[in-house]
C-alpha cells in the first residue's frame, strides 16, 4: 500500500545485489512511495548481481561506485544530481563486507590487512559518502541519510568477528556526522540496527541459521524481515521523522530489550 510518503523526493540507494538484499526491498518501496532515485553498487558486485533487473522495475539508472573510493563517490553524486535534476533528499547506505568472515577467520586469527578492508568497506565508506555529499553541497535541507547496522556493535556475537567493530564505527560516524550535517543544512543521519536477515551478507556469517532462529525465539514480535526494514527506512526518509537524528534505531522485533524468553527456556529445557 502506498501513502505517497516520498513523492517528489530524490535519492541514492547503495547495496542492492539481488532480490534478497535489504536495499532491493527499500528501492521497491521507495518507488511505490513516489521517489525517484539512482541505484549504485561496487562494479564487481554489479557484474555478479541482478541490479539491472531492479533498475528496470524502478525506472532507475545505475551508477557503479566502489564506496571506498572518494573519486567514485564524487562521480556518483555529480551524476545522480544530473540525472535526478537537483539535490538529493535521501541516501541509503546498505553496504557490508568482511574478507575475514568470507575466509572463515576466527576472532583470534584475524588477518589485519583484511580487518582494515572490513572497516573501510563497512564503516569508513559511510563517512566518505557524507564527506562527498557535504563537499558538493548535494543534500537538500531536511534530507535523510540512513545506514544499516547490527546489534553486534554493542553485544558479543563471536562469529561476527571484525564486522562487530565495523558496525560500532559505523554507528559512531552516524552520530558525529549527524551533528555536522544537522548544523550545516538540517540533514539527519541515523543507523537502523536490523534483525538477522537471510541475505548474501547475512548468511555468509558462520552459524547464521542458529542465531537467526535464536533471535526469532527471543523476540516477542519475531525477527524483522527485509520488507519491514524497508518500511522503516521509508519512514526515516519521509517528512514524518524530521527531528530524528544521530540515533541507532533498533528494528529487531524486541530482541535488544530481552533477557530470556519463554520460547528459549522451552527450547533449552527440551534438550536437557
Ligand X SMILES: NC(=O)c1ccc[n+]([C@@H]2O[C@H](COP(=O)([O-])OP(=O)(O)OC[C@H]3O[C@@H](n4cnc5c(N)ncnc54)[C@H](O)[C@@H]3O)[C@@H](O)[C@H]2O)c1
Instruction: Verify binding: residue 96, ligand X, rule CB under 6 A.
Output: yes
Instruction: Verify binding: residue 201, ligand X, rule CB under 6 A.
Output: yes
Instruction: Verify binding: residue 200, ligand X, rule CB under 6 A.
Output: yes
Instruction: Verify binding: residue 63, ligand X, rule CB under 6 A.
Output: no
Q: How far apart are CA 60 and CA 12, in angstroms?
A: 10
Q: How far apart are CA 265 and CA 217, in angstroms?
A: 10
Q: How far apart are CA 178 and CA 181, in angstroms?
A: 5
Nearer to ligand X, 53 or 242 (CB): 53
Residue of the chain from 22, 35, 138, 224 that contacts ligand X (CB under 6 A): 22
Which of the ranges 66-74, 129-137, 242-250, 258-266 carries the binding residues for ligand X, by CB under 6 A? 66-74
β-sheet with 10-14: strand ranges across: 36-40, 10-14, 88-93, 139-149, 188-194, 248-251
Give the CA distances from residue 40 to residues 15, 58, 77, 115, 263, in Å, rounded to whole numbers and listed in that order.
Answer: 7, 13, 11, 24, 41
The CB-of-66 to ligand X minimum distance in angstroms stands at 5
Q: How far apart are CA 106 and CA 160, in angstroms?
A: 9
Residue of the chain from 11, 143, 178, 196 that contacts ligand X (CB under 6 A): 196
Residue of 3, 107, 112, 150 marked active site: 150
The CB-of-69 to ligand X minimum distance in angstroms stands at 8
Nearer to ligand X, 13 or 84 (CB): 13
DSSP summary character for residue 189:
E
Q: Is 150 tagged catalytic? A: yes
Q: Residue for cell digits 526491498?
A: 25
Instruction: Verify binding: residue 253, ligand X, rule CB under 6 A.
Output: no
Q: How far apart are CA 14 and CA 5, in angstroms?
A: 20
The CB-of-1 to ligand X minimum distance in angstroms stands at 23
Q: Contact positions toward ligand X, by CB under 6 A?
A: 14-15, 17, 21-23, 41-42, 45, 66-68, 94-97, 121, 148-150, 194, 196-197, 199-202
Amino acid at each position: 500500500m502506498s501513502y505517497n510518503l516520498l513523492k517528489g523526493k530524490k535519492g541514492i540507494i547503495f547495496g542492492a545485489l539481488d532480490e534478497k538484499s535489504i536495499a532491493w526491498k527499500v528501492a521497491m518501496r521507495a518507488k511505490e512511495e513516489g521517489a525517484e532515485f539512482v541505484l549504485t553498487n561496487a562494479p564487481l558486485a554489479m557484474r555478479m548481481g541482478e541490479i539491472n533487473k531492479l533498475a528496470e522495475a524502478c525506472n532507475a539508472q545505475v551508477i557503479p561506485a566502489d564506496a571506498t573510493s572518494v573519486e567514485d563517490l564524487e562521480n556518483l553524486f555529480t551524476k545522480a544530481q544530473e540525472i535526478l535534476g537537483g539535490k538529493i533528499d535521501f541516501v541509503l547506505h546498505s553496504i557490508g563486507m568482511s574478507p575475514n568472515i568470507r575466509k572463515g577467520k576466527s576472532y583470534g586469527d584475524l588477518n589485519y590487512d583484511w580487518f582494515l578492508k572490513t572497516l573501510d568497506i563497512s564503516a569508513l565508506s559511510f563517512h566518505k559518502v557524507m564527506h562527498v555529499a557535504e563537499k558538493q553541497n548535494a543534500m537538500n535541507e531536511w534530507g535523510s541519510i540512513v545506514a544499516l547496522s547490527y546489534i553486534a556493535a554493542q553485544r558479543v556475537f563471536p562469529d561476527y568477528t571484525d564486522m562487530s567493530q565495523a558496525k560500532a564505527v559505523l554507528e559512531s560516524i552516524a552520530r558525529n556526522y549527524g551533528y555536522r550535517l544537522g548544523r550545516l543544512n538540517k540533514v539527519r543521519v541515523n543507523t537502523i540496527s536490523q534483525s538477522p536477515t537471510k541475505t548474501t551478507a547475512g548468511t555468509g556469517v558462520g552459524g547464521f541459521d542458529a542465531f537467526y532462529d535464536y533471535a526469532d525465539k527471543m523476540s516477542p514480535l519475531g525477527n524483522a524481515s527485509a520488507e519491514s526494514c524497508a518500511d522503516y527506512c521509508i519512514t526515516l526518509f519521509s517528512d514524518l521523522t524530521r527531528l530524528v537524528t544521530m540515533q541507532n534505531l533498533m528494528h529487531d522485533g524486541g530482541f535488544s530489550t530481552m533477557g530470556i524468553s519463554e520460547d528459549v527456556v522451552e527450547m533449552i529445557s527440551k534438550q536437557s
